[in-house]
Structure formats: structure tokens, C-alpha cells
């Protein structure tokens, strides 16, 4: 199966719903569901279990929501922008699965990073989008043309509340409702202008969800479980319901309610059925409103969905209550409790209104049949998982089986193990645990597994529906464990040691030591003769499984290796790590070091044919690398995940690749070669179909089958008997019904004939009536014509008279109009003359006012700087007013009056300022008087201070005399100091030999410390060895063998005693021989008293030694206290005391080391004597004791001499300390 180019892989199935996206699941058809997963949009056919994918341009870009158009042809992705970027809406065509349009904010000054909500109009031609904080702007897009038709502010005019949802009217594309916490606005657009209408007072209502129930009704829910109604823009006060309790809704129009009085809308709040006591009495928010032609649904309560069926256009009745089942073994434990992960996040309905689909915060889709059993038959209908039951939280381990098409995964957060079948794309088994799971490995047969828990490593048998623990190993927090290729061995990491066990005998075959860091990966060769391991310390080790020795190593401290793979021969290893390079290792050297994708690499896997290599790294990429490696790596990179891939596995037939990521998403890849064809299978390859089942379970199942078969036969006979009885009764009923129908038919025939006769008679009568009415109608018509002719003549005469009258009135009015015009002209002349006179007066008044204004400007030049800006602004305002109102004289006069009023106000303000200044001057004068008083008091203080200065001059003279006397004393003290310095030099000469001794002792202590370190290392090494041996011993023999050995030895000794006692029976007649034989028997089987006494004496010596040590430590503590008291002396003396204390400490340390050595020697002596063993014959113990205790007196004498020497040294040091302290005290005096 030679492949010259990198193998191609194509995603076949991808599971892992993204729960961080709003509206994250929609029905395209009855069988196709679209949802986001990883870095793609998945179109999943749940009937055929096939998938199609829409790959996103930037898979790492966060997505806010996923909105489907009403015609189910377009999909809008609301993407969150990076800092400083504009938010983007991408629209995809769901027929071609390609991107159609990209929409963004058209204005540069927008600072929002995301669209808070997006919605298509009912005709799918327009798209309404509202930006998030701080803008809260509504944009109305004609998305096909890519332009904004109109825009408006979406937030409340007061600026309070936030926007979370926008809903378009189901029949009017220009009408939307905007909702959110403390926000409710109905807005309409006409000619690009948005206007608000209707009720909007939601400042105290936390709205959580909203929908258009009908084109003129809006229903919304609140955070305290209340449903409210807005009809034709007005809030219906009589249509407020409790979401949990309401059973029916009657929403008749207001006019009908007014007519019917008390027979208006009826809410069945009183009908709180006892069947729904399962819902908590506490209020829950109403979320996820969805409307469909046959009714509507919403979520309220812990995992509850309420569905109402439409009975009439104004009446809805509650039909079903759906809930995520508490007893679902896939998500709950023995005592299931409500989890926030099961909160309803989104609800959608299929196009045929047969299925309801929901999403929660788990990576799982749930569905339920919409019109199934009524709630009277089943109060709570449970949701069913759509697709396989997914992990929630990180998948930390995965293992592939060789014999079967299955693989095993373990969840870090949900503490579960799941077995998946990649042929049927389903989960075969799920098991939940209380302990944390760190790693899993599946046996090649698929019948066994090893699982690393937080407390132990367990070897399990995989049964048909359960895991049964077969053996436990004391390895805590095992992060890596793996079966060998052939399954007869398995390796597990215990801290930094790799332990290899047999899968048959469970014996610890090898302990592989060498890693100093965390072991990150284990890899077996095809023939199981080689095991390769790598760690974070940068080491890759190769171990021989025949000897347990390390046969190869490569150490690269600059890199932390994360994964490795070995070829079938075990001679070439491929390793990846944090440096982002793939390393080909062979013969203890790195043959090739090739860069790949420019970031850290996480996992690596090699096919059985050694011709395909797959590597993961970065954020979700899977890379196929061509083998053999050349100087430059040739590879193809494939993307589905958008989080780091934690593990990959390759099927035994090299046709399926499985990858799992940190977000619990699972991708199944199909492998093909470069030409697109599937890779050829091995001949005669077939998967195993066998399973394991315990004998007890099998017997139970056989018994249950037998019981069910007998019950079935009983039911069949009972059913046939009931069927016969039912047929007989039905035949009798049918006969009765047939006779009744025949009689009824005859009666109906007679009635029909009678009715036909009556009908013909009625038709004749009706025709006669019609003829009479026709003749009467003709007569009345003629009479009316004659009457109307007479009326027309009279009306014509009246019209002629009125016409003459109007002509006379016209002439009269024309004459009156001429007279009025002449009088108007005369009045205009008079008014012009009067207004001209007034204008002259106003001009004179204006000149006077101008002069007065000039005078006021000259008088108020001092305050000009303060009012200049106001005056300029007022002048500009007045000038603009003049330019506008110059045409009309009245406005000019008003303007002049306004100016005079302003000037008056300025005069008043100026007078007020003058008064304020006068007030300030009076305040300043008062302050001046106070300051003069203060100055007088300060003068008195100055005089007092001068007196004090004269007094202090006298005291200074006295002080100078005192200083002169002190200087003379100082000279005397300097003489005394010279004498003391001479004494100090003498003391230093005496100290020098002591310092040399101290240096020698320090060197000695260093040598002792070095020897102590070597001894400690030897001790640690031996303790480690002892621990390992103890573990081996405890795991190998256990209590049964120890008890058996003890029992055997006791039996043997008892047998010997019985034999000796039997032999003594011959000497019963001879007392002396009997006495000697009893004594010999006692010495043979009972411990010697001398031996016990020697032990007691030795223990007493150790206690004496400990008592001496405590005494010396107390003396050292007393010396330290004296040293602290004498710290006030000279520095040289303190240094000497410190040196002496150091010597004392070094002596104490040496004594401690000697004590430790004596204890170790005592232990050695006990081991030599055999006192640490359990069973020793007295004769051998006496021989050993005699051999050892010959030189005991010599040892005691040597120890006593050493103790006396140390005591003499301590006494001498004490005397020296006391002498130095006395000198220091003398100097201080």
C-alpha cells in the first residue's frame, strides 16, 4: 500500500454542538438539522446519519447567533468583531452551501463590536440588525443588494435598558418589536423614517422573551414567570397569565368583551392541576417563545417546555408539558438532581409541525413528537436524545480497538467512560463513576480495558452492558496507560516510573526508570519488543521489553515532548513537542528535524503500514504528512475543530481516523489517497462480533425470555378468546344496526315524498303572489311618475324666481363693495400718516436710547471685561433677529423694546455687583481691624521672646563651661582608651590560636557534612529500594502466603516439640535425666535471659546518651541568652562571642551526626545480631551475642572518654565567655 503523496482525509461525521451561540439549531427539512460545531456549520440528516458541512472563513472568530430565514434558504451568521473592528453578518446560501453576502455597519463612528440581535423579515428580503452597547442602533438592510435602507436608535429614549431581541411581524415587513430587560418598543418604518407607536412603558419589567402571536398581537414573558399581551399597540391588562399555572388562554377582542360583559377573556389561573406539582412553586423566567400555525410553545421551569394548541383564532389550550428526563442514565447518577446544564437554550419546530427540537447547555440535541399523547394521558413527556449521547467537558483520553469497530473515550468533567461504534456512528455503552478518570486503554480484542482513576488503576472486563473490575493496581492519578500491540502486556505511568504488567498473570514485569519530568506518551512497536516513551523534560527513551533495559535515548532540554510514535520494526521513532517540529529519531540520534505548521504540536499517530503519519497541532488542525520524510516536509492540513485536539486514533483497517478536541467534539474522518479513492483493505479482514456476558446475566436473560414467551402464549390464547367474543357481540350489534337503518330508510323515503308534494304546492302559491305583486308594482310606478312630473314643474318655477332674486342681490353687493373699498383707501391714508408720525417718534426715541447706551458704556468700562462675551453673543443673536425681522416694522419696535429691557437688566445686574463690591469692602475693613488686633498681640509676643533670648544667653554660657569640663574628662578617657587598646591587642594575640583551631574544626565539619550527604544519599537510595521491594513483596505474596508460612513454621516447631516431648517420656523414671532434658528443651525453644539483659543495658546506654545531648542543648540555649544580653558591648567582643557560638553549634552538629551514626550502628548491630528478624533459635542468638558483646566494654569506655572531652571543652568555652563578658562590663563602667 505505497502512497507517494500525503493521504487525503475528509470529514464523514462531526458531533459536538456549540452551546456558546444563540439560536444554535434549526430545521431545514423534516430530516435535515443545521447546527454549529467546531469551526463548521453542520447539516445533519438524522434519519440517514449523513452530514454536509459549511466551512467558515475564520473558524476562530466568535459567533453571537445563527439566524435562519423564514423560507429556509438563507442562513445569517452574526459574528463578533475583534477590538477596533466592525461587526459582520455573513449570509450563506443553503442550496449551494456558499457565502452569498457580507453585511457590516456602514458608519465609521460606530464603536459596537457586535450585533445584539438579527432577524429576517417574513418575506426573507430584508434583515433587521441591532448593534450592541454603547450604540444600540437599528439597521434595516436590503441584504441582497448589500445596502442599508434605513436606521434609527433602538434603545429607549431615556437611555435605560438594553436590547436583546428583535422580532419581525409575520405579515408586515415594516413592523418590528424590540425587547430586552426593561425595554419594549414597537417600531414602524415609512419612507426610511422609523417611528415608535403603542405601549412602551416597560421600565420596571425585565422582559426575557417575545414573539408575534398573530399579526396584531405580541406575547412576551418576564423573569418572574409572567406572560403578558400587547394587542394593536395597547397592553391588555386582562391578559396577564402565570406561565406555570395557565391552562388556557382566551384572547377575544376588546369590542366583543364590551358587548359580552362578564363573558370576556377567561384565563384558567384557577385550574392549577395537581398533576403539575412537580414544577417548583418558585418563579422561573419565561424564555424561548416560538410560534407555529397550530399553536405556540415556550420554556419555563427547570427543563420544562409548555406547548399550547390553537383551537380558535382567539383561544389556545395547553396540550402538553415536555421535560428532559431526570432518569436519563446518560446524564444523571443514582440520585438525579436538576442541573443548570439542562436549562433550555433554544426551541425550534420542523416544517411539518410534527417534531419539537431543543438545545441546552450540554452538547446534545433533544427532540420530542409534538402532537403525541395528551397531557391527560401523560402529564410529563420526556425528551429523547437526537444522535449519540455526548460528553460534556473535556475528553482527556481515547483508545481504539483492533478486532472491533469501536473506540473508547473518557470525560474529565462528567467522569464517564463511553464506547463508540464508528461504523454505526452511535454510542454502545456509557458508564458513570464518582472518581476522576485520567486515562483509558482498550485491549486489541475489545474485551478488556485499563482505566486510570484518581485512586487506582483498574483492569476491567468489557461486558455487553457494563464494565466489571477484574484487578486493581495501586497507581494513583495514572495519566498514561497503554496495552501492547498484541495485548499480552500493558504499561502504566506511576509518577515518573513506567511499570510494565502482564495482562495474563498481572505480575509487574519491569519498572522502567529514567524520566525526570512528566511522561506524556507511550508507544509500542508492532512486535512488542520495544517501548518508546517521551516526557516534558525533553527526553525520548527506547526500552527493550526482553531485558527491561534502556537501549536508546535522545535528550533535547529546549523542547517538551508531547507525543511519539514508533514504526513496526521499532527502529524509527517520530516525536513532536512544543517547538512545533517533527523529529525522526533512530540509533540514538535525531535524523531529521522538520518544521511543520509554525506552532506547538500535540499528538502524532502512525499507520500499521508505516506509510501514513497524522499530526495535530495549533487550534484544531489535523495534518497528514507524507512518508518517508524528506528534507522538506510535504503535508496537507485539514480543519474541522476550533479547539486543541487532545487525542487522535487510527482504525485497524487504516480507513477511519478519529479526533477528539477539548470542547468534547468528535470527528470521524474517511481516509482516501490523493486520487480520491479509498485506501485498499487487507485481504480476509473482518471485524469480530463477539461480546462478553456474565453467566449470571445470561441466565437471568434466558429466564426472562422464557417467562416472556410463556406470557406471550398466554396472551395469544386470551386474545383469540376475546377476539371471538368481540366478533360475536359485534355481529349481533351489526344485525340490530342494519335493521334499524332499513326502517329509518323507509321512513325517510315517505317523508321525502311528502315534502316533495308540499314543495310543489308552495311553488304554485309563490308564483300567484309574484303575479299579484307585479301588477301592484306597475300601478304604483305610474302614480309616482305623474306625481314627480307635477313636482318638477313647481320646482322649475321656484328656480326662476330665485335666479331673479340673486341678480338683484349681486347688483346691491357690488355697490356696497365699491363704497367699502373707498372707505378702506381713506382709512389706509390716515393710518399711513399716523404710523409715519409714530415712526418719527420712534426714531427720536432710538437716538435718545443710543446716546443713553453710549453713556452707559462709558460709565461701565470697569465691568466691560466680565460682560464682553455675553454682549458679543447677544449682539450676534440680535443681528440675526434683525436680519430676519427687518421687513416688518412692528418686529423692529419689539426688538428695540427687547434691547432696552436687556439694558435695564444689565443695569440692574451692574447695580447688584456694585452692592456686592461694597459689601466686600465692608468685610475687608472688618478683617483689617481684626488683623490690627492680631499685630498688637504679636508685638507683645515679640517682647516676651526677646526676654527669653536674654535668659537663654545666660544658660548658654553655663553650658559652655560644662562643655569645657567634659572636654577635660574626655582627654582623661582617651588615655584610659589607649590602655584598653593595648589590652585588646594582647587579647587578639591570644584569640589567634583559637581561631586557627576553629578553622580546623570547620574543615572537619565540612568533611563530616560531605560524608553525611553521601550517607543520606545511600540511605534514600536504600529506602527507595526497600519501598520497591516491600511493594513487590506485598503485591506478590499478600496475607495468605505470610499466614501460610507462619502456620507451617509453627507446625514444624510444634512437631519438633512433640518429638522432643515423646523422646523425654523414656526418662520419666530418671528425674536427673528428665531435668536435664527439660532444661535443654527450654534453652532450645525459649529466648535466653542474658540476651534480654544485654539488650536492656544497651537501651539504657542510648537513653543516657540522649539525656547528655539534651543537657548540652540546654547549656547552648543558656549561652545564647547570655550572648544576646552582651550585644551592647564592643563589636570585636561580639564577633568573638559569635565565633565561639558558631564553634559550639558546629560541636552540637557534630554531636548530632555522631548520634545519628550511633543510631544507625545500633540498627546495624540489631540486624547483625538478628534481632530484627522474627524467628531465631536461641542457640544462634547466643552465639551472635557472644561474638558481638566481647568488645562492648571497650566501646563504652571510648564513648565515656569522648563525652568527658566534650564536657571539658564546653566548660573551657563557658569560662572564656564569662571572662570576655567581664571585660566588656569593665569597659562599659
- Cα dihedral across residues 1035, 1039, 1040, 1042: positive or negative: positive
Per this entry, what is the length of the chain?
1229
Q: What pLDDT is recorded for position 345? A: 92
Question: Is pLDDT above 80 for 874?
Answer: no
Average pLDDT over all residues of the chain: 83
User: What per-residue confidence (pLDDT) applies to 1038?
Assistant: 75
Q: What is the mean pLDDT of the segment spanning 70-98?
A: 90
Beta carbons of 967 and 1214 less than 8 angstroms apart? no
DSSP 642: S
Q: How many CA atoms lie within 13 A of 172 on its CB side?
A: 15
Quick one: pLDDT band at residue 678, thresholds 50, 70, 90? low
Q: What's the rounded mean pLDDT across residues 857-886?
A: 72
Pick the range with the lowest mean pLDDT from 38-47, 428-437, 1173-1182: 1173-1182
| Mean pLDDT for the stretch of residues 725-737 | 89
Q: Percent of the chain, pLDDT > 90? A: 28
- Specify whether the CB–CB gap between 389 and 364 falls below 8 A: yes
Tens of pLDDT, residue by residue over 349-371, are 999 999 999 999 888 899 999 88
d(CA 641, CA 621): 7
> What's the predicted TM-score (pTM) here?
0.59
| Residue 276: predicted pLDDT | 40
Strand partners, 1194: none
Contact 115, 131 (CB under 8 A): yes
User: How confident is the model over 25-57, as pLDDT tens digits?
Assistant: 999 999 999 999 988 999 999 888 899 999 888
Judged against a pLDDT cut of 70, whether residue 938 lies above it is answered with yes
Query: Within 13 A of 231's CA, how many CA atoms are on the CB side?
Result: 12
pLDDT at 1089 over 60: no
The band of 418, judged by pLDDT with boundaries at 50, 70 and 90, is very high
Least reliable range by pLDDT among 292-296, 721-725, 989-993, 1085-1089:
1085-1089
pLDDT of residue 937: 82
Residues 1063-1080 have a mean pLDDT of 78
Return the higher-pLDDT residue of 648 and 836. 648
Burial 260-283 (b: 16+ CB within 10 A, else e): eeeebbebbeeeeeeebeebeeeb
Q: Which residues contact residue 273 at a Cβ distance below 8 angstroms, ignoring those fewer than 6 apart?
A: 247, 379
pLDDT over threshold 70, residue 255: no
Contact residues for 1143 (Cβ-Cβ < 8 A; gap 6+): 998, 1001, 1213
pLDDT digits (tens, 9 = 90+) for 564-619: 999 988 889 999 999 888 999 988 898 888 888 888 899 999 988 888 899 998 88
pLDDT at 326 over 80: no
Q: Distance between alpha carbon 357 and the CA centroid of its chain, in Å? A: 24
What is the band of 1226 on the pLDDT scale with cuts at 50, 70, 90?
Answer: confident
Specify the pLDDT at position 1076: 82
- pLDDT-derived band of residue 665, with 50, 70 and 90 as boundaries? very high
Average pLDDT over residues 299-327: 88
C-alpha cell at 587: 540509533
pLDDT of amino acid 1104: 78
Q: Which 8-state DSSP code applies to residue 863?
A: G
Would you place residue 865 in the very low, low, confident or very high pLDDT band (cuts 50, 70, 90)? low
Lowest mean pLDDT among 33-47, 439-453, 1076-1090: 1076-1090
pLDDT, tens digit (0-9, with 9 covering 90-100), for 801-815: 888 888 888 888 788
Nearest to 389 by CA among 364, 419, 410: 364
Tell me what pLDDT residue 852 has. 81
Task: Mean pLDDT check: name the lowest of 670-684, 843-857, 948-962, 1172-1186.
Answer: 1172-1186
For residues 224-255, one letter each, b for 16 or more C-beta atoms within 10 angstroms of the residue's C-beta and e for the rest, the string is: ebbbbbbbeeebbeebebbbbbbbbbbbbeee
In the chain, the percentage of residues whose pLDDT exceeds 70 is 89
Amino acid at each position: 500500500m505505497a502512497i507517494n503523496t500525503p493521504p487525503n482525509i475528509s470529514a464523514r461525521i462531526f458531533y459536538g454542538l456549540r452551546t456558546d451561540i444563540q439560536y444554535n439549531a434549526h430545521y431545514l427539512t423534516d430530516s435535515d438539522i443545521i447546527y454549529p460545531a467546531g469551526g463548521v456549520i453542520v447539516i445533519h440528516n438524522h434519519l440517514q446519519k449523513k452530514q454536509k458541512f459549511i466551512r467558515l472563513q475564520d473558524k476562530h472568530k466568535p459567533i453571537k447567533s445563527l439566524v435562519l430565514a423564514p423560507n429556509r434558504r438563507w442562513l445569517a451568521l452574526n459574528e463578533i468583531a475583534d477590538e477596533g473592528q466592525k461587526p459582520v453578518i455573513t449570509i450563506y446560501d443553503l442550496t449551494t452551501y456558499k457565502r452569498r453576502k457580507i453585511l457590516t455597519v456602514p458608519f465609521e463612528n460606530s464603536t459596537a463590536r457586535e450585533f445584539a440581535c438579527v432577524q429576517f423579515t417574513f418575506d426573507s428580503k430584508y434583515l433587521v440588525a441591532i448593534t450592541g452597547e454603547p450604540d444600540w442602533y437599528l439597521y434595516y438592510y436590503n441584504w441582497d443588494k448589500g445596502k442599508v435602507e434605513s436606521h434609527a436608535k433602538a434603545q429607549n429614549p431615556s437611555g435605560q435598558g438594553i436590547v436583546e431581541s428583535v422580532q419581525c411581524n409575520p405579515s408586515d415587513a415594516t413592523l418590528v418589536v424590540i425587547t430586552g430587560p426593561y425595554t419594549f418598543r414597537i417600531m414602524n418604518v415609512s419612507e426610511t423614517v422609523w417611528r415608535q407607536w403603542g405601549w412602551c412603558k416597560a421600565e420596571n419589567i425585565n422582559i426575557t422573551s417575545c414573539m408575534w402571536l398573530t399579526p396584531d398581537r405580541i406575547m412576551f414573558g418576564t423573569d418572574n414567570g409572567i406572560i403578558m399581551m400587547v394587542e394593536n399597540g395597547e397592553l391588555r391588562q386582562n391578559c396577564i397569565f402565570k406561565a406555570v399555572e395557565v391552562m388556557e388562554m382566551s384572547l377575544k377582542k376588546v369590542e366583543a368583551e364590551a358587548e359580552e360583559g362578564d363573558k370576556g377573556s377567561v384565563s384558567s389561573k384557577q385550574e392549577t392541576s395537581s398533576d403539575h406539582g412537580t414544577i417548583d412553586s418558585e418563579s422561573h423566567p419565561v424564555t424561548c417563545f416560538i410560534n407555529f400555525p397550530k399553536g405556540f410553545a415556550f420554556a419555563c421551569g427547570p427543563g420544562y417546555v409548555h406547548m399550547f394548541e390553537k383551537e380558535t383564532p382567539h383561544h389556545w389550550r395547553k396540550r402538553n408539558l415536555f421535560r428532559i428526563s431526570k432518569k436519563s442514565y446518560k446524564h444523571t447518577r443514582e440520585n438525579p438532581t436538576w442541573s443548570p446544564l439542562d436549562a433550555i437554550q433554544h426551541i425550534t419546530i420542523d416544517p411539518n409541525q410534527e417534531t419539537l427540537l431543543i438545545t441546552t447547555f450540554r452538547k446534545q440535541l433533544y427532540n420530542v413528537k409534538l402532537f403525541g399523547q395528551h397531557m391527560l394521558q401523560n402529564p410529563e413527556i420526556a425528551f429523547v436524545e437526537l444522535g449519540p449521547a455526548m460528553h460534556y467537558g473535556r475528553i482527556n483520553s481515547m483508545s481504539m480497538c483492533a478486532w472491533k469497530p469501536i473506540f473508547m473515550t473518557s470525560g474529565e468533567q462528567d467522569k464517564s467512560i463511553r464506547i463508540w461504534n464508528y461504523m454505526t456512528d452511535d454510542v454502545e455503552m456509557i458508564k458513570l463513576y464518582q472518581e476522576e478518570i485520567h486515562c483509558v486503554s482498550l485491549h486489541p480484542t475489545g474485551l478488556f480495558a485499563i482505566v486510570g482513576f484518581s485512586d487506582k488503576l483498574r483492569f476491567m472486563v468489557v461486558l455487553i452492558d457494563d464494565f466489571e473490575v477484574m484487578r486493581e493496581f495501586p497507581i494513583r492519578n495514572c495519566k498514561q496507560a497503554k496495552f501492547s500491540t498484541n495485548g499480552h502486556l500493558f504499561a502504566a505511568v506511576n509518577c515518573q516510573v513506567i511499570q510494565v504488567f502482564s495482562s495474563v498473570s498481572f505480575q509487574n514485569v519491569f519498572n522502567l526508570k529514567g524520566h525526570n519530568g512528566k511522561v506524556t506518551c507511550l508507544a509500542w512497536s508492532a512486535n512488542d519488543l520495544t517501548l518508546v516513551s517521551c516526557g516534558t523534560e525533553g527526553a525520548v527513551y527506547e526500552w527493550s521489553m526482553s531485558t527491561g533495559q534502556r537501549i536508546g535515548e535522545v535528550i533535547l532540554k529546549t523542547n517538551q515532548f508531547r507525543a511519539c510514535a514508533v514504526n513496526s520494526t521499532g527502529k524509527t521513532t517520530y516525536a513532536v513537542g512544543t517547538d512545533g517540529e517533527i523529529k525522526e529519531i533512530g540509533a540514538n540520534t535525531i535524523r531529521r528535524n522538520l518544521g511543520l505548521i509554525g506552532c506547538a504540536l500535540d499528538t502524532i499517530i502512525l499507520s500499521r503500514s508505516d506509510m501514513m503519519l497524522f499530526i495535530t497541532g495549533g487550534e484544531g488542525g489535523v495534518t497528514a504528512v507524507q512518508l518517508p520524510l524528506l528534507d522538506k516536509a510535504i503535508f496537507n492540513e485539514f480543519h474541522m475543530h476550533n479547539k486543541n485536539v487532545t487525542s487522535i486514533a487510527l482504525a485497524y483497517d487504516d480507513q477511519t481516523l478519529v479526533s477528539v478536541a477539548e470542547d468534547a467534539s468528535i470527528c470521524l474522518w474517511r481516509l482516501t489517497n490523493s486520487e480520491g479513492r479509498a485506501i485498499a483493505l487487507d485481504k480476509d479482514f473482518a471485524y469480530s462480533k463477539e461480546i462478553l456476558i456474565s453467566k449470571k446475566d445470561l441466565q437471568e436473560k434466558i429466564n426472562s425470555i422464557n417467562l416472556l414467551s410463556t406470557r406471550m402464549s398466554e396472551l395469544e390464547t386470551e386474545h383469540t378468546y376475546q377476539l371471538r367474543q368481540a366478533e360475536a357481540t359485534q355481529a349481533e350489534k351489526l344485525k340490530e344496526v342494519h335493521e334499524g337503518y332499513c326502517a329509518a330508510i323507509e321512513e325517510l323515503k315517505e317523508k321525502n315524498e311528502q315534502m316533495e308534494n308540499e314543495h310543489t304546492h308552495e311553488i304554485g302559491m309563490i308564483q300567484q303572489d309574484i303575479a299579484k305583486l307585479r301588477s301592484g308594482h306597475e300601478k304604483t310606478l305610474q302614480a309616482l311618475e305623474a306625481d314627480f312630473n307635477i313636482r318638477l314643474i313647481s320646482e322649475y318655477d321656484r328656480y326662476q324666481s330665485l335666479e331673479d332674486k340673486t341678480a338683484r342681490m349681486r347688483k346691491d353687493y357690488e355697490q356696497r363693495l365699491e363704497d367699502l373699498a373707498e372707505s378702506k383707501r381713506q382709512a389706509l391714508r390716515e393710518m399711513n400718516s399716523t404710523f409715519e408720525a409714530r415712526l418719527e417718534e420712534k426714531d427720536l426715541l432710538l437716538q435718545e436710547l443710543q446716546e443713553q447706551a453710549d453713556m452707559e458704556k462709558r460709565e461701565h468700562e470697569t465691568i466691560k471685561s466680565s460682560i464682553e462675551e455675553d454682549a458679543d453673543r447677544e449682539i450676534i443673536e440680535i443681528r440675526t433677529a434683525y436680519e430676519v425681522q427687518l421687513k416688518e416694522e412692528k418686529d423692529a419696535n419689539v426688538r428695540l423694546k427687547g434691547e432696552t429691557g436687556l439694558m435695564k437688566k444689565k443695569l440692574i445686574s451692574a447695580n447688584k455687583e456694585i452692592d456686592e463690591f461694597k459689601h466686600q469692602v465692608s468685610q475687608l475693613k472688618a478683617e483689617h481691624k481684626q488683623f490690627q488686633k492680631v499685630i498688637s498681640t504679636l508685638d507683645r509676643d515679640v517682647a516676651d521672646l526677646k526676654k527669653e533670648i536674654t535668659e537663654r544667653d545666660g544658660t548658654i554660657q553655663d553650658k559652655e563651661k560644662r562643655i569645657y569640663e567634659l572636654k577635660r574628662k574626655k582627654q582623661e578617657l582617651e588615655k584610659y582608651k589607649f590602655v584598653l587598646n593595648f589590652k585588646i591587642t594582647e587579647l587578639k594575640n591570644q584569640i589567634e590560636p583559637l581561631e586557627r583551631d576553629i578553622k580546623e574544626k570547620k574543615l572537619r565539619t565540612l568533611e563530616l557534612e560531605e560524608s553525611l550527604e553521601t550517607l543520606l544519599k545511600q540511605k534514600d537510595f536504600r529506602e527507595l529500594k526497600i519501598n520497591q521491594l516491600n511493594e513487590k513483596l506485598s503485591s506478590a505474596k499478600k496475607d495468605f502466603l505470610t499466614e501460610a508460612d507462619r502456620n507451617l513454621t509453627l507446625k514444624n516447631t510444634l512437631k519438633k516439640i512433640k518429638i522432643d516431648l515423646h523422646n523425654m517420656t523414656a526418662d520419666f523414671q530418671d528425674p536427673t535425666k528428665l531435668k536435664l532434658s527439660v532444661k535443654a528443651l527450654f534453652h532450645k525453644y525459649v529466648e535466653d535471659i542474658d540476651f534480654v539483659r544485654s539488650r536492656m543495658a544497651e537501651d539504657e546506654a542510648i537513653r543516657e546518651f540522649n539525656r547528655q545531648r539534651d543537657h548540652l542543648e540546654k547549656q547552648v540555649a543558656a549561652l545564647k541568652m547570655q550572648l544576646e544580653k552582651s550585644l551592647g558591648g564592643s563589636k570585636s567582643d561580639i564577633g568573638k562571642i559569635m565565633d565561639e557560638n558558631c564553634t559550639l553549634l558546629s560541636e552540637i552538629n557534630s554531636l548530632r551526626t555522631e548520634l545519628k551514626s550511633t543510631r544507625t550502628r545500633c540498627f546495624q548491630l540489631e540486624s547483625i545480631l538478628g534481632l530484627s528478624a522474627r524467628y531465631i533459635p536461641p542457640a544462634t542468638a547466643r552465639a551472635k551475642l557472644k561474638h558481638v558483646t566481647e568488645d562492648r566494654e571497650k566501646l563504652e569506655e571510648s564513648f565515656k572518654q569522648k563525652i568527658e572531652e566534650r564536657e571539658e571543652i564546653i566548660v573551657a568555652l563557658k569560662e572564656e565567655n564569662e571572662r570576655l563578658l567581664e571585660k566588656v562590663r569593665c569597659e562599659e563602667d
